[in-house]
Amino acid sequence: MKLDARIPSGPLTQKWRDLRDHLALVSPANKRKHNVIVVGTGLAGGAAAASLGELGYRVKAFCYQDSARRAHSIAAQGGINAAKNYQNDGDSVFRLFYDTIKGGDYRAREANVYRLAEVSNQIIDQCVAQGIPFAREYSGYLANRSFGGAQVSRTFYARGQTGQQLLLGAYSALNAQVAAGTVEVHPRTEMLDLVVVDGKARGIVTRNMVTGETECHVADAVLLCTGGYSNVYFLSTNAKGCNVTAAWRAYRRGAGFANPNYTQIHPTCIPQSGEYQSKLTLMSESLRNDGRVWVPKAEGDDRDPNAIPEDERDYYLERIYPSFGNLVPRDVASRNAKKVCDEGRGIGPGKRGVYLDFAEAIGRLGEDVIRSRYGNLFDMYEMITGENPYKNPMRIYPAPHYSMGGLWVDYYLMSTIPGLFVLGEANFSDHGANRLGASALMQGLADGYFVIPSTLGEYLAGAKLDDVSVNSDACRQTVRDVEKRTRKLLDVRGSRTVDSFHRELGLLMLDECGMSRTGKGLSEAIDKIRALRAEFWENVKVPGDGTDLNQELEKAGRVADHFELAELMCRDALDREESCGGHFREEHQTEEGEALRDDENFRHVTVWEFKGVDKKPVAHREQLEFENVQLTQRSYK
Amino acid sequence: MRLTLHVWRQKNAQDKGAFSTYELEDVNTHMSFLEMLDVLNQDLITKGENPIAFEHDCREGICGSCGFVINGVAHGHQKGSTVCQLHMRHFADGDEITIEPWRAKAFPVLCDLVVDRSSFDRILRAGGFITARTGSAPDANTIPIPTETLEHAMDFAECIGCGACVASCPNSAAMLFVGAKIAHLGILPQGQPERHKRALAMVEAMEDEAFGACTNFRTCEAVCPKEISISGIARMNKDYRKALFSGVGFASGKKR
């Protein structure tokens, strides 16, 4: 596997502009001749499919949901960053770039991140033109808020539903292209494999989730925009359907998987209420702007929170990090919540929770102001817990939320398989070892609206692509592989449900490859995952057959891939003998208990090459060069 | 608590379908309604029966995937919520609960509680957008928009496309859904150039589907998880009428 990031030469601020000046173009007449497959219709996929359709490519878009409008980007609440500096508070493209690089603990590629910051402003323009109702000030101009970890106000938002509004914008652009005849949408269709012909990605094999039919679709390029893999933990904030299958199948076909262990555990989620729990609900971390995090000073203090006097409360984030306080980055907030719960000071059922208290803010600003800022989040909290957060502090606990790792891509967003492009959360490129709040929406739309429409043309203009038919040997063989695997899952006829396996895997991953990790724990986890995977293939119970709508079969295929991913995540976490961002190895911490990076030995991206399910994958390295920022130890004190 | 469920079971679109009854013991009151069904499904699978198929994804009330009728009410009795946000603490020990899919000709049942809502997508494709080619937009602050206008548009933009409005309407009308999109885009200054053409095209597309017409029952508004106002329907009618008489032309090429 050769890793050439193809970063353009020249100064950081000119790379993207210069590249675009010189990228090969595909003529309008030829664009019509190129078929492009887009898998996933979230912010990255929806925006890419719509924009490529506008350019004249023939696009087929696929999603597992019943409509392209339901991709999980829709659930993002807080906002989207951009370097507009509308607040005149000193923001700039460089500062957004710098914050993102630093927030990612210096484990992202400078050039990609700078480009992201650079196109962020165009995204806001585009979204407003589409009719996205971003919040405004009384003047009628756009409003901003400060968001987790940022010292400037650069986050644009639409109530607590920014992801929904942005996705519906991309979906409406997609609809316009469907009407124009350039894009064909295939809902309820799940990608189960990638077709590789002569070393190039040339198509996908899908399962029609209503009829069970296995189909092959061919194209000149395949774009995976399939989101992240936090559902490997079973309980996460991801939608129930989110899965790694598309990316994993590509990995098995030769695409490098980069930094799989980098996952983000979001600090402000509603704690688990019982065994039956199916998913965790995130509340926007904008809540931390006005809420104060605390636990009782004493272990096992289970008094009513309002009965605990001020001097018996530990506002531990404000105490440990006096300058950032409750606004420390997500990984720091999460790890500290786990720590105080491990000390026996957790609150609520199961004692895995901390308070997020608005009493001070309500006293200072009044309930109406708090309601106007967070009303829908407070309502949601009350709906789920049955408790009134205006009267009692909220209970929160961290939950897996986002995966920074993903398929390796170069500057053009192309994976190690030519013709296979990866966008949005599914790739690894922009967030390093930790993502800042309100940056996921920015990246998805940057990749989809502004990066891929430029870089895809360069590939298509230069690649020699022979016609591939769905009846070719490569396609037929891939279809057979998929059918065989589906049959295998159905034929186990064991006695244990898919969910029970998934739940056990998730717990194991959260314990050993979650907020903090150890070499010993990770090594043991690998053995346990392998044993559990073996049991899965011998004892899983998938009812029904493959010829109709079968939600258990869908889940079984995804969980089978999550097993293999889980092992790779542990392997990657074990390999990275340092702490950085969301990856905290207990062996590598400062005297103060903070993440201790090892820039000399680990200033690189680890890219894994598949060698077989029961064979050790091979690790490749992409060295990260920092020419424009000084590597510093993150300090939020 | 103990519950008796009567659930609509239908193998596929061709199957006639019927209710099946399930007795549940020890339902935890903190469970969500969907978690209660998850637990039942685990039980059914273990017993060798087919689990109940239902649509769901985000489970936080925003994706619009979930939705079925609980005791005659779309999304159940909790106001302003989807099924996934409904918790069992709102039910009592010994309750009998009837669960059935959205019932509307335009939403054919695919399996159990799963219906086909692609008619919604087709209506939005007809005109539910502002044409703004990627990269062509001016600076986002070029047009100031008063907050009241913006908030008004946002009230309609919140629609999650779940289909409860159709399911609850005695006429199976889709007008709250269509009106919400026409109002969202038609209130904003960016949406003005295509405003009347949009209304015309979307109403025509809606009429091509098997939806009925609004006769002001207002059940849609009552069950809408986002509590969208039927004033959107008035805006839709107004824009549509204006389009008919202002000669913007019929988007589909039809003559009336």
- Among the listed ranges A285-299, A493-507, A528-542, which one has the minimum average pLDDT value? A285-299
Q: Report the DSSP pairing between strands A292-296 and A263-269.
A: unpaired
Residue of A161, A178, A273 lying closest to B158 (CB–CB): A161
Quickly list DSSP for A319-382: HH-TTTGGG--HHHHHHHHHHHHHTT---SGGG--EEEE-HHHHHHH-HHHHHHHHHHHHHHHH
Let me know: does B203 contact B252? Beta carbons within 8 Å: no
Pairwise CB contact (< 8 Å): B12 & A549: yes
Contact at CB, A125 and B140, closer than 8 angstroms: yes
Residue of A418, A609, A392, A398 lying closest to A515 (CA atoms): A398
Q: Inform me whether the C-beta atom of residue A131 falls under 8 Å from chain B C-beta atoms.
A: yes
pLDDT digits (tens, 9 = 90+) for A88-133: 999 999 999 999 999 899 999 999 999 999 999 999 999 999 999 9
Q: Among positive and negative, which fits the CA dihedral B229, B234, B237, B241?
A: negative
Reported as a single tens digit per residue, the pLDDT across A152-165 is: 999 999 988 999 99
In angstroms, the CA A550 to CA B52 distance is 10
Which residue is closest to A77 within chain B, CA to CA? B62
User: pLDDT (tens digit, 9 = 90+) per residue, A391-406?
Assistant: 999 999 999 999 999 9
Interface contact A84, partner B, CB < 8 A: yes
A530 Cβ under 8 Å from any chain B Cβ: no
Predicted pLDDT at A637: 75
* Interface-testing mutation among B35, B40, B57, with chain A (most A C-beta atoms within 10 A): B57
Per-residue pLDDT of A288-317, as tens digits, reads: 989 999 999 999 999 999 999 999 999 999
Which has the closest alpha carbon to A354: A419, A408, A287, A403?
A287
Strand ranges of the sheet holding A313-314, from the earlier edge strand across to the other edge: A263-269, A394-403, A354-357, A292-296, A313-314
CA-based nearest residue in chain B for residue A54: B133
Total beta-carbon pairs less than 8 A apart between chain A and chain B = 215
- B89 at A interface, C-beta within 8 A: yes
For the ranges A201-215, A376-390, A416-430, B63-77, the lowest mean pLDDT is seen at A376-390
Distance separating alpha carbons of residues A430 and A447, to the nearest angstrom = 10
Domains of chain B as residue ranges with CATH: 3-111 (3.10.20.30), 118-246 (1.10.1060.10)
Q: Distance between CA atoms of A103 and A329, rounded to whole angstroms?
A: 7
Is residue A303 among the annotated active site residues?
no
Query: Coil, helix or strand for B98?
Result: strand
In this structure, are residues A555 and A499 in contact, taking their beta carbons and an 8 Å threshold? yes
Quote the strand ranges of B89-225, DSSP E: 96-100, 109-111, 114-115
Q: Are B9 and B18 in contact (CB under 8 A)?
A: yes
Burial track A100-137 (b if 16+ CB lie within 10 A, e otherwise) = bbbbbbbbbbbbbbbbbbbbbbbbbbbbbbbbbbbbbe
A507, pLDDT greater than 50: yes
Considering only CB atoms, A72 lies closest to which of B58, B131, B139, namely B58
Indicate the range of A63-72, A277-286, A361-370, A415-424 predicted with least confidence: A277-286
Taking the CA of residue B43 and the nearest CA in chain A, the distance in Å comes to: 9
Q: Do B147 and A138 touch (CB under 8 A)?
A: yes
Question: Could you give the 3-state DSSP secondary structure of residue A400?
Answer: strand
Contact check, Cβ <8 Å, B42/A497: yes
Asked if pLDDT for residue B249 goes beyond 70, the answer is no
Which residues of chain A make contact with B138, given a CB cutoff of 8 A?
Answer: 125, 129
- Interface check for A274 against chain B (CB to CB < 8 A): the answer is yes
Residue with tokens 């079925």: B68
d(CA A429, CA A405): 8
Please give the residue of chain A at the shortest CA–CA distance from B89.
A386
Portion of chain A with pLDDT greater than 90, in percent: 91
Q: Where are the alpha helices (DSSP H) in A200-306?
A: 245-252
> CA A182 to CA A49: how far, in whole Å?
9
Q: Domain coordinates of chain A in residue numbers?
A: 267-400, 473-609
Instruction: Please judge whether B190 and A128 are an interchain contact, meaning their C-beta atoms are less than 8 angstroms apart.
Output: yes
| Shortest distance, CA A213 to any CA of chain B (angstroms) | 15
pLDDT at position B256 is: 45
The predicted-structure confidence for B123-169, as pLDDT tens digits, reads as follows 999 999 999 999 999 999 999 999 999 999 999 999 999 999 999 99
On the question of pLDDT at A532 being above 90, the answer is yes
Whether chain B has a CB inside 8 Å of the CB on A625: the answer is no
End-to-end CA distance of chain B: 59
Q: What residue of B is the nearest CA neighbor of A172? A: B129
Between A327 and B191, where is the model more confident?
A: B191
- On whether any CB of chain A is under 8 Å from the CB of B59, the answer is yes
CB spacing of A239 vs B64 below 8 angstroms? no
Structure tokens of A347? 């609150």
B-chain CB neighbours of A492 within 8 Å are none
Whether domain A267-400 has CATH 3.90.700.10: the reply is yes
Tens of pLDDT, residues B20-65: 999 999 999 999 999 999 999 999 999 999 999 999 999 999 999 9
Among B224, B208, B44, CA closest to B123: B208
Quote the percentage of chain A above a pLDDT of 70: 100
Give rounded-to-5 percent helix, strand, coil for chain B.
40, 10, 50
Q: Do A267-400 and A473-609 show the same overall fold?
A: no
Q: Is the pLDDT confidence value at B255 over 60?
A: no
Whether the model clears a pTM of 0.90, i.e. scores above it, the answer is: yes
What value of ipTM does the predicted structure carry? 0.97
- State pLDDT tens for residues B171-189: 999 999 999 999 999 999 9
Residue in A154, A249, A288, A330 annotated catalytic: A330
For the domain spanning A473-609, the CATH number is: 1.20.58.100
Mean pLDDT, residues B98-107: 98
Residues found in chain B = 256
Q: Which residues of B touch A175 (CB under 8 A)?
A: 121, 124-125, 128-129
